[in-house]
Amino acid sequence: MPELPDVELYLAALRPRLVGHRLEGIRLGSPFLLRSVEPSPSSASGRAVIALARLGKRIVVELEGELFLVLHLMIAGRLRWRPLGTAVPKRFGLAAFDFDDGTLLLTEAGSKKRAALFVVAGREALAEHDPGGLDPLAADLPAFREAMTRENRTLKRALTDPRILSGIGNAYSDEILHRARLSPFLRTAQLDHETLGRLHAATRDVLAEWRDRLIAETGDAFPEKVTAFRPGMTVHGRYGEPCPVCGSPVQRIVYAENEASYCATCQTGGKLLADRALSQLLKKDWPRTLEEMELRRRG
């Protein structure tokens, strides 16, 4: 799922292409994309784009007359900038937004169509689409501390809860926790002042670094490969590869419908976190540390 740095990358590419330009019309390739009833998509036609913004992981296109298009890309939704009038792709195409200078295509790979479009009238109605989490790039340490310790959650779940922090998902939470040298399963109630400060700094630094890096790498082009797995990530998507900090193999655990990648040496004092499926299967044979795992491999 595109997260804060990826959404900011899209916004950086869309602003020079859309702001000040007129939306000529919306062509829906899938009726399931539209999740609102009133106003109708046709009411957006003929209006100029005033601004673009991020609302959590959502992209908001503001049109004249306080009409808003809210796009939630979910897991597999992606945007493509094409010449005006380009047809909606038959297989993965969800919609085409025709502007006076080009067409913005919305596609979604896979059989499950989860991406969503809302047409919203007025700022009060727009606010209903905001999950309420803090902007992690703007929140100071006291606000961050209050939000993170409001409930006793694991760090992984707290970082990715949109009601707590805005725009962070599975990929960048892994990177943040590795930068902060903290276990994904450490509970927020266990955080002292120094640890919270370290986590706050890691959150802001990782997100800002990746946002700036992606925008710089893309330049004036439109981003065509927005993915959760990027070269240069320290642990996310790098299971079994050496940690760039200490050289230990990156570990991965799967729980519910989620997963977490981490370095046992950097984040958990060498202890292996229990993968529910494998640890229950192996029981006493489940290795508890990197040393145990290495001994069993040699054996």
pLDDT at 288: 60
Q: Which residues contact 269 (CB under 8 A, 6 or more apart)?
A: none
Q: Global pTM?
A: 0.91
Q: Report which of 72, 61, 67 is spatially closest to residue 43, judged by C-alpha positions.
A: 67
- Full domain range(s) for residue 185: 141-202
Quick check: is 207 in a domain? no
Quick check: is 17 in a domain? yes
- Which amino acid is located at 214 in the chain? L
CATH code of the domain containing 43: 3.20.190.10
Quick check: is 273 in a domain? no
Count of structural domains, the chain = 2
Match 């508890």 to its residue by tokens.
Answer: 288
Same domain, 64 and 160: no
pLDDT at 9: 98
Same domain, 145 and 119: no
pLDDT range class, residue 299, cuts 50, 70, 90: very low
Buried b (16+ CB within 10 A) or exposed e, 124-162: ebbeebeeebbebbebeeeebbebbbeeebbbbbbbbbb
Quick check: is 234 in a domain? no
Same domain, 112 and 151: no
Quick check: is 100 in a domain? yes
Asked if the model's pLDDT at residue 170 lies above 80, the reply is yes
Distance CA 1, CA 181 (A): 24
pLDDT range class, residue 294, cuts 50, 70, 90: low
pLDDT at 178: 98
Show which of 202, 229, 248 is a domain's final residue.
202
> What are the start-end ranges of the H helices in 225-289?
264-267, 276-282
Same domain, 109 and 183: no
Asked if the model's pLDDT at residue 13 lies above 60, the reply is yes
Tell which wins on pLDDT, 116 or 297.
Answer: 116
Same domain, 149 and 119: no
Same domain, 122 and 176: no
Asked if the model's pLDDT at residue 175 lies above 60, the reply is yes
pLDDT at 77: 96
Same domain, 90 and 147: no
Quick check: is 40 in a domain? yes
Q: Give the model confidence (pLDDT) of 229-287 as tens digits.
A: 999 999 999 999 999 999 999 999 987 668 899 999 999 999 999 865 544 433 454 45
CATH code of the domain containing 196: 1.10.8.50
Asked if the model's pLDDT at residue 161 lies above 90, the reply is yes
Same domain, 155 and 67: no
Show which of 202, 231, 255 is a domain's final residue.
202
Q: Mean pLDDT over residues 50-76, rounded?
A: 97
